[in-house]
Chain A
Amino acid sequence: MTQPKYALLDASMRLLKIALALVLAYIATPSLVSTARAEAKTDTPYSPYVDRDFPTRPFFGDTHLHTSFSMDAGAFGARLSPRDAYKFARGEEIATSTGQRAKLSRPLDFLVVADHSDGMGFFPLLFEGTPEVMADPQGKIWHEMIKSGKGNEAGFDIVRKFGLGQMPKAILPVPGTSAYRGAWQKTIEAAEEANDPGTFTAFIGFEWTSNTGGNNLHRNVIFRDDGRKAGLVEPYTTVKPLGSDDPKDLWRWMAAYEESSGGHVLAIPHNGNLSNGRMFPRIDSFSGKPIDRAYAEQRQRWERLYEVSQIKGDGETHPLLSPNDEFADFERWDAGNLDLSEPKKPEMLEFEYARSALRSGLQLEQELGVNPFKFGMVGSTDAHTGLSGVEEDNFFGKTAGSEPGPHRSSHPFITNPQTGLTFHGWQTIASGYVGVWANENTRESLFDAMERRETFATTGSRMTVRFFGGWEFDEDDAFQPDPARVGYESGVPMGSDLPKRPRGGEPRFLVAALKEPGGANLDRIQIVKGWLDDEGELHERVYDVVWGDADQRKIGRDGKLTPVGSTVDVENATWANRIGDPELISVWKDPNFDSDQSAFYYARVLEIPTPRWTAYDAKRFDLELPPEVPMTTQDRAYSSPIWYTPR
């Protein structure tokens, strides 16, 4: 019985000696050290999941939500605060401004409350007992009442004296003092409380609403930082002398913030469709001069994303800009600018839509040396209700007045008596969200992913979209059990530049999509290509790459794929996943590649038709809606582009 024990001991001793020898050798011999290191490098862990440092699932969120803190939202009747907004986004049930019970189908992963600021604060000052307060007899009394637990009485007394005009002047809060807290400070507090790294991210942000002449040049500004840094500044406004309606001044403010705080901010423009030719300019509407290199550099530095879809219309492209794209006519708002004071002219369109801006960016890059419009895609709601709720069957509308109710689809949404133009209530669309390929659900990780444009926009559903570009993908890569691993190893993700071209070859793209959990199947994946030819002319083309029901659908002589069909029962607002596929994957190579021509590529994913929110409303409220109201929709996703630049 003792024999094996000794043997074991013996064996251990031997191992120990070997280890010791190895350690000594390791210390003694420099050459051995490097060998050992080289070995360690190739000696990767057995488990393929150990060092997987790429994002494995997209985080879905909304970068653009207003609450009652926004002046206009409050006026529209919004009652919910940023705190309520975060609760709803986290999946909790809440009561809406019109008193309805509301809940998301599934929580979002993150939210940016983007309100305006200013407000007042007095009690913190009083509570603190600042010297000014204590020097005033009345201030001292109130302070002591609060300290001794009689806060409520003190409060009423203060409110009463307010009303009687008997407030001691010496302790009235002066705007600008550190104790003057406003909506901005409350916004920050709400974000700080709701932010739960790893589970839910609450970004600090605000909207800068440049709207001169009713032309929408709005931007949302998002902080990577916590309240300690974001609280150092007041949000930038559009009103002189402190603010400005010129985006170049916003960028200056952003630079000043980063420099003084060491923090990071980004800006996302939206609703080019309501800018009347000003969102993606060639002539700067503020200086009247052609945009220059400095403009291009600044825009590229601060605005790496564009909000391509939201409740006030989808902005991918327009039928007049993309006549050969059979899906170009999707939820367009093209009657005029934001207040409809100026009707739309066709020549404005190319400066308003994402795809034409991506194209124009290629040209500007050639002229200026920098592409000002090299942006990734996000979708968001821009709801003014505190509710980020844009699911077709759970749409909580644009304003408190357009929360679910029998009249919201028939009421005009914006109407201008001077021009006689109207945006109708039914034209608001249940859109959108953004998917972010971040490693973790934290402010830092999500922000960094947004900065590298690893994002995709959706028109409200939450499908997963993968899009990788490279030179080496082959068809088998579409059948890998983990396509993302191949994607990152042999290519670059959405939002990137294609790596340097090896000798010869054309770019290849690994593209994949998975339907939203519990959502509609997928109709098809398309790749949209835009390019600049040798004559300096811009082109675009849409390729059908992979589609559902592939055994029954083919690309016909006219170049069009057989439509997927529809299972929608409008009257009952139902549909079935009898058509389409839950997942689509393919590798596509550009058949018309010219290595001397710069180009961009992005993926567009279409769901099968489902009932539009108007159909759910019609069913629920028993409505007869006029024939121009669309009752079905094909929700879709747009990936950020991948760019090719000749070298």
Chain B
Amino acid sequence: MRKFISEPLVHFLVLGTVIFAAAQLVSDDEPFAVNEIVVGADRIEGLATVFARTWQRPPNESELQGLISEFVREEIYYREALALGLDQDDIIVRRRLRQKLEFLSEDLAATDSAPTDAELAAHLEAHPDRFQTEVRFSFVQVPVDEEGDPGELLALLREAGTDVDTSPYGGLALLEREHHNVSAPKVAMQFGDNFTARLSEVPLGQWQGPIPSSYGAHLVLISERSAAALPSLETIRERVRLDLADVRRQRAAKRFYESLRQRYQVTVEFPNRTSDAAYPEAS
């Protein structure tokens, strides 16, 4: 019995009966006032359009009937749920509504007029770090034993020069030996940041190393190394546009919230605290 009483469904039913009975008592209406639901042509067209976007064809007669009766059922439940106040204090409803309003304000930002060339150029100039081309390397690497002394192999490779076939030497067969025109972040993804930093320092055209990496150590021959540069607006217009749009979107969202916030006076009433330790952390 105790378990029965603690069932949420039981709470719901009991509460529902009470509310219903109370509503009957205070209301002068007929016991079952008839509410009206009109499923108009617009609505039917809307239902059919959603169906067509899902299935890539219009609904047939019985499918349309199904859509309509499902809509009616949903509408009735929706209205009844609202009447019972089930939307109140429901975290999903609250967050969903918040999200809808956020979408709305985002859409608003998206309708801002397209940025001019001058604005794009200014944005590019203000944030060179975001648009700089990456340093790129072409290099060959030979994995060597981290603890061993690779001096002999290094001497041998230096002797053999830049055209040497490295396949007889070193370990790690799954790690690619030749890397052509690879950007620094991609090198770092594979070999780690320290390795990439060293690639930027050591001389070109001669075997160097050992250089430590995320795998161990390597002898390295760099054939090319391009410097970072800021591209012209012409070549990266779309990227700059997207970045600026993103910045504006965030700014607009902030402004939007702030202006809403201004219309509220917020009072926070903490329960009486015995000590500051009552709220050790916010989680």
Chain A positions near chain B (C-beta within 8 angstroms):
49, 56-57, 68-69, 71, 74-75, 77, 83, 91, 106-107, 119-124, 126-127, 146, 149, 151-152, 154-156, 159, 174-177, 181-183, 186, 193, 232-234, 236-237, 240-243, 253, 256-257, 259-261, 405-407, 464, 466, 479-484, 512-515, 517-519, 582-583, 585
The reply to whether B188 and A106 form a contact with Cβ atoms under 8 Å apart is: yes
Measured CA separation A514–B143 after assembly (Å): 13
Measured CA separation A236–B49 after assembly (Å): 14
Of residues 44 to 58 in B, which have CB atoms within 8 Å of A's CB atoms? 45-51, 53-57
B100 to A, closest residue via Cβ: A120
Measured CA separation A193–B100 after assembly (Å): 22
The reply to whether B101 and A159 form a contact with Cβ atoms under 8 Å apart is: yes
Q: Which of A107, A146, A479, A583 has the most CB of B within 10 A?
A: A583
> Shortest Cβ distance from A178 into chain B, in angstroms?
8
The reply to whether B56 and A517 form a contact with Cβ atoms under 8 Å apart is: no
The reply to whether A126 and B111 form a contact with Cβ atoms under 8 Å apart is: yes
Q: Is the CB of B152 closer than 8 A to any CB of chain A?
A: no
Measured CA separation A155–B192 after assembly (Å): 48
Measured between beta carbons, the chain A residues less than 8 angstroms from B48 are 176
A462 to B, closest residue via Cβ: B189
* Interface of A, helix, strand, loop or mixed by DSSP: loop
Measured between beta carbons, the chain B residues less than 8 angstroms from A483 are 173-174
A-B contact pairs, 14 of them (CB 8 A): A57-B190, A75-B95, A77-B95, A83-B246, A156-B259, A176-B48, A183-B103, A233-B54, A236-B54, A242-B50, A242-B54, A514-B172, A514-B175, A582-B215
A237 to B, closest residue via Cβ: B54
A515 to B, closest residue via Cβ: B215
Measured CA separation A156–B262 after assembly (Å): 12
Measured CA separation A71–B185 after assembly (Å): 35
Contact string, B146-188, partner A, CB cutoff 8 A, digits 1/0?
0000000000000000000001100111111110000001001
> Shortest Cβ distance from B267 into chain A, in angstroms?
21
The reply to whether A174 and B42 form a contact with Cβ atoms under 8 Å apart is: yes
Of residues 20 to 73 in B, which have CB atoms within 8 Å of A's CB atoms? 42-43, 45-51, 53-57, 63, 66-67, 70
The reply to whether A122 and B107 form a contact with Cβ atoms under 8 Å apart is: yes
Q: Is the CB of B92 closer than 8 A to any CB of chain A?
A: yes
A252 to B, closest residue via Cβ: B55
> Shortest Cβ distance from A189 into chain B, in angstroms?
9
Measured CA separation A186–B106 after assembly (Å): 10
In the complex where A155-B256, A156-B259 touch, is A74 in contact with B99 (Cβ < 8 A)? yes
> Shortest Cβ distance from A401 into chain B, in angstroms?
8
Measured CA separation A259–B255 after assembly (Å): 45
What 9 A-B pairs have minimum CB-CB distances, sorted nearest first?
A176-B49, A518-B214, A481-B167, A517-B214, A123-B107, A260-B56, A514-B174, A176-B46, A127-B111
Q: Is the CB of B283 closer than 8 A to any CB of chain A?
A: yes
Measured between beta carbons, the chain B residues less than 8 angstroms from A91 are 185
The reply to whether B104 and A159 form a contact with Cβ atoms under 8 Å apart is: yes
A239 to B, closest residue via Cβ: B70
The reply to whether B171 and A583 form a contact with Cβ atoms under 8 Å apart is: yes
Contact string, B248-262, partner A, CB cutoff 8 A, digits 1/0?
000010011001100
Measured CA separation A159–B257 after assembly (Å): 12
Q: A75-B95, A177-B46, A256-B56 are in contact. List 12 more A-B contacts (CB 8 A).
A: A74-B95, A91-B185, A123-B104, A127-B110, A155-B104, A155-B105, A233-B54, A234-B50, A237-B54, A481-B167, A483-B173, A517-B192
The reply to whether A256 and B55 form a contact with Cβ atoms under 8 Å apart is: yes
Measured CA separation A243–B66 after assembly (Å): 12
The reply to whether B63 and A241 form a contact with Cβ atoms under 8 Å apart is: yes
Q: Which of A241, A243, A259, A585 has the most CB of B within 10 A?
A: A241
A47 to B, closest residue via Cβ: B178
Measured CA separation A622–B53 after assembly (Å): 53
B63 to A, closest residue via Cβ: A241
Measured CA separation A124–B176 after assembly (Å): 49
Measured between beta carbons, the chain A residues less than 8 angstroms from B50 are 175-176, 234, 242
In the complex where A120-B100, A193-B242, A517-B213 touch, is A152 in contact with B255 (Cβ < 8 A)? yes
The reply to whether A124 and B110 form a contact with Cβ atoms under 8 Å apart is: yes
The reply to whether B46 and A175 form a contact with Cβ atoms under 8 Å apart is: yes
B260 to A, closest residue via Cβ: A159
A192 to B, closest residue via Cβ: B242
B174: contacting residue among A155, A406, A513, CB under 8 A: A513
Q: Is the CB of B19 closer than 8 A to any CB of chain A?
A: no
Measured CA separation A359–B248 after assembly (Å): 55
Q: Which of B43, B108, B109 has the most CB of A within 10 A?
A: B108
B107: contacting residue among A124, A232, A512, CB under 8 A: A124
Q: Is the CB of B113 closer than 8 A to any CB of chain A?
A: yes
A517 to B, closest residue via Cβ: B214
Q: Is the CB of B96 closer than 8 A to any CB of chain A?
A: yes
Measured between beta carbons, the chain B residues less than 8 angstroms from A482 are 167, 173
In the complex where A74-B96, A517-B215 touch, is A106 in contact with B189 (Cβ < 8 A)? yes
The reply to whether A124 and B111 form a contact with Cβ atoms under 8 Å apart is: yes
Measured CA separation A582–B109 after assembly (Å): 51
Q: Is the CB of B112 closer than 8 A to any CB of chain A?
A: yes
The reply to whether A466 and B174 form a contact with Cβ atoms under 8 Å apart is: yes
Q: Which of A183, A257, A483, A582 has the most CB of B within 10 A?
A: A582
Measured CA separation A134–B49 after assembly (Å): 23
The reply to whether A151 and B108 form a contact with Cβ atoms under 8 Å apart is: yes
> Shortest Cβ distance from A546 into chain B, in angstroms?
13
B173: contacting residue among A119, A186, A585, CB under 8 A: A585
Measured CA separation A464–B95 after assembly (Å): 41
Measured CA separation A256–B56 after assembly (Å): 7
Measured between beta carbons, the chain A residues less than 8 angstroms from B43 are 174
> Shortest Cβ distance from B100 into chain A, in angstroms?
6
The reply to whether A119 and B100 form a contact with Cβ atoms under 8 Å apart is: yes
Q: Is the CB of B131 closer than 8 A to any CB of chain A?
A: no
The reply to whether A512 and B255 form a contact with Cβ atoms under 8 Å apart is: no
Measured between beta carbons, the chain B residues less than 8 angstroms from A514 are 172, 174-175, 215
Q: Which of B70, B178, B283 has the most CB of A within 10 A?
A: B283
A257 to B, closest residue via Cβ: B56
Measured CA separation A186–B249 after assembly (Å): 13
In the complex where A71-B96, A176-B47, A483-B173 touch, is A186 in contact with B103 (Cβ < 8 A)? yes
> Shortest Cβ distance from B272 into chain A, in angstroms?
25
Contact string, B234-245, partner A, CB cutoff 8 A, digits 1/0?
000000001000
> Shortest Cβ distance from B83 into chain A, in angstroms?
17
In the complex where A241-B67, A517-B215 touch, is A121 in contact with B174 (Cβ < 8 A)? no
The reply to whether A122 and B104 form a contact with Cβ atoms under 8 Å apart is: yes
The reply to whether A242 and B108 form a contact with Cβ atoms under 8 Å apart is: no
Measured CA separation A286–B168 after assembly (Å): 60
In the complex where A155-B105, A256-B55 touch, is A68 in contact with B111 (Cβ < 8 A)? no
Measured between beta carbons, the chain B residues less than 8 angstroms from A127 are 110-111
> Shortest Cβ distance from B254 into chain A, in angstroms?
12
The reply to whether A149 and B113 form a contact with Cβ atoms under 8 Å apart is: yes
